[in-house]
């Protein structure tokens, strides 16, 4: 079958019939409903549901979905994602969705439907906007979520490090997990474009002067160069590679309930610097905290910022017995360098943070300035971590 791009219900159902998966959802294909739930930047995702069950269908188009056909991209990236899921299923089975089917001809992956859970970034955004509208909100136990994510990063990187695997298995994993196309995207969209005057960049008017200065600051250029060098030259353990709050799902409400946290979308996975996943998660939790702070919701800001501490502790616990304090300090310094770059790109690059963009204009401006300033400070001096009041 050549289904081409899946765009509508009939295409998705026809694909499920071709893949012999429709019977797991319904006795008759007519009873299957489909909705598109694309949320990330790269791919398209649909949920198909019938009386017998539901599945998520993800397809990589031959371009970056959010930009369109003007940004061609090899769709066989879905293979890299499937490889990463296979590794993660072995190492952290409870923390990733189960994969039901992979089709490297149509660039389709079918997996467990997690749509009962909430994407963490969406949950955090809804909390702030609902409060601004005077509506009731779900509580989100960010401290507990931070512990799970920190443990995930710690156990994943530790169990795939050279220390755990030995030289030859580690080298094999590094080769197998090589992901040059997606690593090139990180160099472009996280560590490249935000530091140049390119059409993809956008920012709020309050950042105008700061952005112009950023592009002409040789100390910033040198700092970005240092982070890029760490990114490309430190194979230390298997990473998710894009571990922001849009790559984490949680069952809400999660206060007083068993925690159900899943990490998904590992298409950027590769063997890289241990600090990167931590830094990306920290940056996005700090962005969520600063958004709440700018909206006058100090209690939420404090709760969100606490995820940095709990993830840091859980990460350290996974490495504690084998790593020297100096090594862990170095990982944390590098993590804050990545966090700085991530914060900057989330306010001026192509993939900006919904946490900020969905705030009313004045609050968005205040939060964007706070995120930019902290990101720039962390980039220039990652040794101490954030110095802000939250």
**40 near Mg ion, judged by CB under 5 A:** yes
For residues 284 and 303, give the distance between their C-alpha atoms in angstroms, rounded to a whole number: 14
Q: How far is the CB of 42 from ligand SR1 (least distance, A)?
A: 6
Interaction mask 328-357, ligand SR1, x per CB under 6 A: ----------------------xx------
Interacting residue with ligand SR1 among 1, 39, 52, 66 (CB under 6 A):
66
**381 near Mg ion, judged by CB under 5 A:** no
Q: Which of residues 270-289 bind ligand SR1 (CB under 6 A)?
A: none
Residue range at the interface with ligand SR1 (CB under 6 A); choices 40-48, 167-175, 201-209, 211-219: 40-48
Q: How far is the CB of 373 from ligand SR1 (least distance, A)?
A: 22
**42 near Mg ion, judged by CB under 5 A:** yes
Interacting residue with ligand SR1 among 122, 242, 332, 363 (CB under 6 A):
242
Task: Output the CA angle 81-87-92, nearest 5 degrees.
Answer: 115
**40 near ligand SR1, judged by CB under 6 A:** yes
Q: Give me Rg for the CA atoms of the chain.
A: 21
**67 near ligand SR1, judged by CB under 6 A:** yes
**190 near ligand SR1, judged by CB under 6 A:** yes
CB closer to ligand SR1 out of 64 and 271: 64
Q: How far is the CB of 82 from ligand SR1 (least distance, A)?
A: 17
Tell me which of ligand SR1, Mg ion, none is bound by residue 171, counting a contact when its beta carbon lies within the kind-specific cut-off of 5 to 8 angstroms.
none
Of 390, 328, 315, which Cα lies nearest the Cα of 148?
315
Tell me which of Mg ion, ligand SR1, none is bound by residue 74, counting a contact when its beta carbon lies within the kind-specific cut-off of 5 to 8 angstroms.
Mg ion
For residues 227 and 234, give the distance between their C-alpha atoms in angstroms, rounded to a whole number: 11
**147 near Mg ion, judged by CB under 5 A:** no
- How many residues line the site for ligand SR1 (CB under 6 A)? 13
Where do contacts with Mg ion occur on this chain (CB under 5 A)?
40, 42-43, 74, 181, 265
Applying CB under 6 A, the residues found at the interface with ligand SR1 are 40-42, 64, 66-67, 185-186, 189-190, 242, 350-351
């Amino acid at each position: 079958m050549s289904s081409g791009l899946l765009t509508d219900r009939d295409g998705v159902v026809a694909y499920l019939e071709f893949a012999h998966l429709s019977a797991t959802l319904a006795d008759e294909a007519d009873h299957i409903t489909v909705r598109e739930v694309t949320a990330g930047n790269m791919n398209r995702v649909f949920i198909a549901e019938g009386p017998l069950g539901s599945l998520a269908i993800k397809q990589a188009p031959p371009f970056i979905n959010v930009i369109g056909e003007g940004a061609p991209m090899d769709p066989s990236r879905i293979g890299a994602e499937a490889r990463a899921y296979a590794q993660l299923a072995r190492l952290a089975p409870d923390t990733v969705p189960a994969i039901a089917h992979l089709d490297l001809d149509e660039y389709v992956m079918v997996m467990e439907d997690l749509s009962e859970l909430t994407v963490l970034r969406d949950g955090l955004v809804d909390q702030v906007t609902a409060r601004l509208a005077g509506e009731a909100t779900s509580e989100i136990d960010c401290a507990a979520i931070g512990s799970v994510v920190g443990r995930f990063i710690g156990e994943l990187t530790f169990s795939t490090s050279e220390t755990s695997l030995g030289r030859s298995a580690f080298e094999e994993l590094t080769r197998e997990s090589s992901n040059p196309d997606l690593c090139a995207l990180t160099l472009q969209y996280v560590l490249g474009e935000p530091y140049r005057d390119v059409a993809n960049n956008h920012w709020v008017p309050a950042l105008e002067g700061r952005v112009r200065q950023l592009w002409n600051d040789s100390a910033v250029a040198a700092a970005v160069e240092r982070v890029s060098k760490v990114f490309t030259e430190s194979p230390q353990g298997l990473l998710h590679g894009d571990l922001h709050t849009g790559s984490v799902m949680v069952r809400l409400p999660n206060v007083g309930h068993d925690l159900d946290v899943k990490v998904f979308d590992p298409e950027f996975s590769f063997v890289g610097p241990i600090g990167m996943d931590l830094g990306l998660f920290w940056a996005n939790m700090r962005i969520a905290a600063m958004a709440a702070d700018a909206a006058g919701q100090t209690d939420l800001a404090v709760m969100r910022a606490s995820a940095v501490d709990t993830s840091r502790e859980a990460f350290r616990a996974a490495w504690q017995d084998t790593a020297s304090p100096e090594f862990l300090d170095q990982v944390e310094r590098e993590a804050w360098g990545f966090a700085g770059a991530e914060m900057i790109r989330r306010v001026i690059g192509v993939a900006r943070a919904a946490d900020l963009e969905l705030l009313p204009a004045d609050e968005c401006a205040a939060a964007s300035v706070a995120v930019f300033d902290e990101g720039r400070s962390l980039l220039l001096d990652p040794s101490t971590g954030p110095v802000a009041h939250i």
